[in-house]
Amino acid sequence: MPAPSTVVLAYSGGLDTSVAIPWLQSRGHEVVALTLDVGQPVDLEATRRKALQAGARAAYVVDARDEFAEGFLSKAIRANLLYEGEYPLSTALARPLIGRHLVEVARREGARYIAHGCTGKGNDQVRFDLCTTALAPELEVIAPARVWGMTRDEEIAYAEAHAVPVPATRGSPYSTDENLWGRSVECGVLEDPALEPPEEAYAWTADPRAAPDEPERLTVGFEHGIPTALDGEAMPLAPLILALNRRAGRHGVGRIDHVESRVVGIKSREVYECPAAVALLAAHRALEGLVLPRDLLATKQSLETQYARLVYDGLWFGPLRTALDAFVEDSQLRVSGDVSLKLYKGGVAVTGRTSPYSLYQSALATYSTGDRFRHEMAEGFIYVWGLPARTWTAVGERAAVPRLRPPPAS
């Protein structure tokens, strides 16, 4: 028998990665399990023990919460990242961080392979594979769930046969992923986009109908586009997000039901809970609207769409993301100030914003006493602004430009 080769497995403790350990062992591999703490509300020491119980040779847990918040979520907030205008990319943003740590552990352990529990239909397979390609092309990727061809029920049976404890059961088939920035839920009855998600699918947010009858008001402080304070109390980004997840979630804020376009070309119905993300992105956009001029806002918004798709498509470790970061960072130099929010029955509303860099000047905007806007200059501005349209029309009339005729009847 050849000597076993080492595989570093991205281990979540869920069904797919738990089944992957005995499956990889059955093919002659030694498994080193790696779990990153990116803010998922689970007992990670229990997760580590479960990996060892399932047969891993070693199991590591890395506290990456601050690294995730400061190196990834801060960029997402500054760039207002929403995939297809709805999804705050909670799962997608964590993958390049996990991928980077997988490579580091693989090199330290002398491993030849990296493994993950992603299926052939999912987006995460693309993200993990491309992280490995970009950071360590000498390593090979093994994706058991792309190979073994088991249904979820068959995976559950396989786990039971190998005495591997997993959270999924035949009565509760949801697949979930959680981190600081949000919770994603799929499978089960959610696969029918015509059906309303059952209340049991949610864990972080209250049913808006049962949320408090009184709104909650809070203030987020920003420095250069990054949240740095909550209700006047300075705090690092990770604790601020955790606090806002609790407060906004209590009011039912952050529920997202999205039929999205996956990288592999299929449509997928996903349910997300992202209380802090929804609140912070609303606050950040409002502050940008106060301090950035129109042309910069418009250009940034068009680039935000590209940035969000880049993250979703697994291209974090590429030159475009680095270039976009440079643009976004420069755009945030004046995005500092306070934004007031109201949380109520599933909604978040911006109720006020202030900044030392505010472009809103009351003496220019007011129609009351103190108006400093020079109204008499507007007529000349409109003449010059409309000159291209006036010239276009005049030239067309002189040249007798033919008008389009409808096609002849068949």
Phi and psi for 193 in degrees, rounded to 5?
-70, -10
SS (H, E, C) 35-48: EEECCCCCCHHHHH
Question: Of 75, 82, 92, 89, whose CA–CA distance to 328 is shortest?
Answer: 75
Task: Specify whether the CB–CB gap between 191 and 269 falls below 8 A.
Answer: yes
Phi and psi for 87 in degrees, rounded to 5?
-95, 120
How far is Cα 39 from Cα 163, in angstroms, rounded to an integer?
A: 28
Task: State the DSSP string of 280-320.
Answer: HHHHHHHHHHHHS-HHHHHHHHHHHHHHHHHHHTT--SSHH
In total, the chain counts a number of residues equal to 410
Q: Is 191 left (phi over 0), alpha (psi -120 to 50) or beta?
A: alpha
Question: Of 318, 356, 366, whose CA–CA distance to 135 is shortest?
Answer: 318
How far is Cα 195 from Cα 340, in angstroms, rounded to an integer?
A: 35
* Residues with catalytic roles: 16, 95, 124, 175
Phi and psi for 86 in degrees, rounded to 5?
-130, -45
